[in-house]
Structure 1
Amino acid sequence: MSWIDVGAIEEIPLRGARKVKTALGCVALFRTADAEVFAATDRCPHKGGPLSEGIVHGQSVTCPLHNWIFDLNTGQAQGETATIATFPVRVEAGRILIDGSRLTAGSAA
């Protein structure tokens, strides 16, 4: 894996998100109430809603446009066949690192 530093964990509020622009599109970084960090495609496959503007609850995010709920571990939409791409992420010394090799393997948005 090729880890890329995308910012400090403090830049994302608890139960919040931040959008990171990549050469392949936008990726959303989500921080849960337990300070876990997840990374996924920023676009909902239903109507293209910006998931970084959605509501983070537990280990899920709800699309701000039509309330589809996505599991941030798997990318699976609750009650739907749709999924979003998720990306390996880790936190080291307060910095968020995302696996850059996954961003080049296919479109992130």
Structure 2
Amino acid sequence: MAESVCDVSSLKEGQARVYRVNGKHVAIYFDGEDVFAFSPNCPHARANLTKGTFQKDAVRCHWHGWRFSLQDGKGLNNDAELKTYPASIRDGEVMVELVEPEGQPKQEEGEDSFMPEIKWKN
């Protein structure tokens, strides 16, 4: 069942934000037409992907440059997979289904510990 996450008008085109949906952290990216829902942490080193670079339906991790399709989570320059969720806009609301689509990596116990951007001190 799809859950209402936010009003689409609250999203900035070309940016992603993290929301808590039924106890899970979910990143929402709005490209101006469509919305994409995905795990906010890179499967490689758990970097915050909302700080990455977005190009239409792909995200590039700002830590090591790994790229992922936001359509299906497939690594575009690596063999890893990003957890994605079905998302849509319905009557101005962003809707997300927290399902485990076939072929997607399963979310492990305790994996939902969202890691915000780390600022290192020298």
Judge same fold: TM > 0.5, yes or no: yes
Instruction: Choose the corresponding residue for 1:72, options 61, 65, 70.
Output: 70
Of the two, which has the highest radius of gyration?
2
Q: Distance between the aligned counterparts of 1:51 and 1:76, measured in 2?
A: 15
Alignment RMSD: 1.8
**1:24: how far off?**
5.0
User: What percentage of aligned pairs have identical amino acids?
Assistant: 23
Residue aligning to 2:17: 18
5+ long unaligned stretches in structure 1: none
How far apart are the structure 2 equivalents of 1:56 and 1:66? 15
Alignment check: 8 A CA contact 2:14 2:54 kept: yes
Tell me whether 90-99 or 18-27 shows the greater mean CA deviation.
18-27
Q: Which has the higher strand share?
A: 1
SS at match of 1:67: coil
User: 2: CA distance between counterparts of 1:64 and 1:14?
Assistant: 19
For 1:1-109, what aligned pairs fall within 5 Å after superposition? 2-22=1-21, 25-32=24-31, 34-100=32-98, 102=99, 107=107, 109=112
Is the 8 Å Cα contact of residues 7 and 92 (structure 2) preserved in structure 1?
Answer: yes
The offset of 1:25, in angstroms, is: 3.5
Aligned-residue offset at 1:64: 2.1
Whole-Å Cα distance in 2 between the matches of residues 61 and 88 of structure 1?
A: 16
Q: TM-score, normalised by structure 1?
A: 0.84
Distance 2:39 2:57 in 1: 15
Give unmatched runs, 5+ long, in structure 2: 101-105, 113-122
Q: 1:3 to 1:23 in 2, by over 3 A?
A: closer
Structure 2: distance between partners of 1:64 and 1:24: 26
Looking at structure 1, the residues matched to 62 and 24 of structure 2 have their Cα atoms a distance apart, in angstroms, of 19
Scaled by the length of structure 2, what TM-score is found?
Answer: 0.76
Equivalenced residue count is: 104
Letter in 1 for 2:19: V
